[in-house]
Every structure is written in structure tokens, then in C-alpha cells.
Amino acid sequence: MTTIRQNLQTLQNELNGSKARLVAVSKYHTADAINEAYACGQRIFGESHVQELCAKQLALPADIQWHFIGHLQTNKVKYIASFISLIHSVDTLKLLKEIDRQAEKASRTIDCLLQIHIAEEETKFGFTPLDVTQMLDEGQWRELKHTRIVGLMCIATNTDDSSRIQKEFRTVHQLFETLKQKYFEGTNQFCELSMGMSDDYPIALGEGSTLIRIGSRIFGERIYDNHC
Ligand SMILES: *Cc1c(COP(=O)(O)O)cnc(C)c1O
């Protein structure tokens, strides 16, 4: 049995009985590695660079559901709009509008998560809880007919302090419940909470994550990881 297969099986066993789904984060990993995971039944893969994603999408099986998890520049949305199945990292209304515009051109509706900035300094991207509430209050997003906001995503602080990580996930889950009630009542559209990576996914699952984004725990260390 290959390591990728073993790693996937371990994760799938841990997810057994939970509603959460696994996003296999394949950024910086080869098409061969992805094919190996695909052969084990994995269908959702996460990438964070547009160029790399487009090359892989062309080369790999058509029934893969590609998720975009990195910072997305508005001028690059057009390259992924025809096939992307979920964008985890919407961090401005401007980006959401551009996704909507490109989705319309591609005659599709694109599902999106709003990224919440919760960690101390892991990333500068994401809405603060206040910003996201203001954006939803203001209401322009309701006019966008080719995007659907289906939930929230966050990246916790990279720390050994698990109580702090737990607090961050809990805060985002509470925000999720509040927004769901206030803006999405009577629909089941707002249902995804993307939280948890290789080092903190057990905590995220305990705090209600529905999508865990796991890279190194499946594929091993990334070959190169500094061109973000
Ligand atoms: C790279 C990345 C992951 C996966 O990280 P691992 O620690 O390798 O599991 C998850 N989410 C985002 C946003 C990433 O950029």
C-alpha cells in the first residue's frame, strides 16, 4: 500500500460518522500524486495558485472537483470560472462581483465561501467579523445571480496553543450561525464551514467543520513552498 493511500484511509476513518468532507490540498504536488489519491476514490482537491490549478485541471480526470483555497486576484478569476467547484477564499465584495461576472460568462453558478480573518498574523486576507456583517447588511451581494455564498472559511493561528485554536474556530462557528440566521434563513444554501488543516483538523472537527483542507498529512511535505 502506498503512503498516500494509507494517509487517506486514516483520514477517512477519522471522518467516519462525521458530516465533514475532505479536501485534499494538492498544491505543489505532482499530477502523479493526485492520480494516486484519485485512484483511492478522492475527488475533491484544493489548489491555491491559478496557473498551477489550470495546468492540473487540463491534465487530470474531468470528474475531479477543484476547490480554490488561496488568495485569488480578481484579474485571474476568468481562468478558473469555467470549472471551479468551490472558491473558499472570497475576501472582498469586489472579488465576489468579478466571480459573478465570470460565472455568468461561463453560464454557470459558482459556490463561494467568505474567508474570515481570525488568526493573529497567519494571513492578511479575509473579512473581519465586523466587515463581513457590514458587507452582508449592505445587500449588493443579493443582486449577484451567478454566485452563491454557501458558508465561511478560516485559517487558525499557527500555534501549539490548542485552546487558542479552538477559541478561533468556535468564534467563526458562532459567526456562521449568526449570519445563517440573519441572512440565509429559510434556505439551506449557507451550510459549509471550511476549517482545519493538517495540524489542527481534529480541533476543527470538534468545532463543527464541514470541510477540512489537508495537504501534508496526505501528500507529505511540499517540495517547494515559498512562492506564495
Ligand atoms: C496549504 C493550505 C492548506 C493545507 O495545509 P497543510 O498544513 O499541508 O494541511 C490548507 N488551507 C490553506 C488555505 C492552504 O493554503
Please give the number of the atom of ligand 1 that sits closest to the Cα of 198: 9
Distance CA 228, CA 28 (A): 11
Global pTM reads 0.96
pLDDT at 216 over 60: yes
pLDDT at 124 over 90: no
pLDDT tens digits, one per residue of 18-75: 999 999 999 999 999 999 999 999 999 999 999 999 999 999 999 999 999 999 999 9
Read off the pLDDT band of 225 (50, 70, 90): low
pLDDT tens digits, one per residue of 186-204: 999 999 999 999 999 999 9
Determine how many CB atoms are found less than 10 A away from the CB of residue 121: 7
Compute, in angstroms, the gap from residue 15 CA to the centroid of ligand 1: 18
Identify whether the C-beta of residue 194 lies closer than 8 Å to the C-beta of residue 153.
yes
Compute, in angstroms, the gap from residue 125 CA to the centroid of ligand 1: 14
Compute, in angstroms, the gap from residue 190 CA to the centroid of ligand 1: 23
C-alpha cell at 175: 459567526
Residue 177 vs residues 43, 64, 110, 168, 210: alpha-carbon distances, Å: 28, 30, 22, 14, 13
Identify whether the C-beta of residue 126 lies closer than 8 Å to the C-beta of residue 116.
yes
The per-type count for the chain, helices as H runs and strands as E runs, is 9, 8
Residues 6+ apart with CB under 8 A from 75: none
Closest residue by CA, ligand 1 atom 11: 213
Please give the number of the atom of ligand 1 that sits closest to the Cα of 69: 13
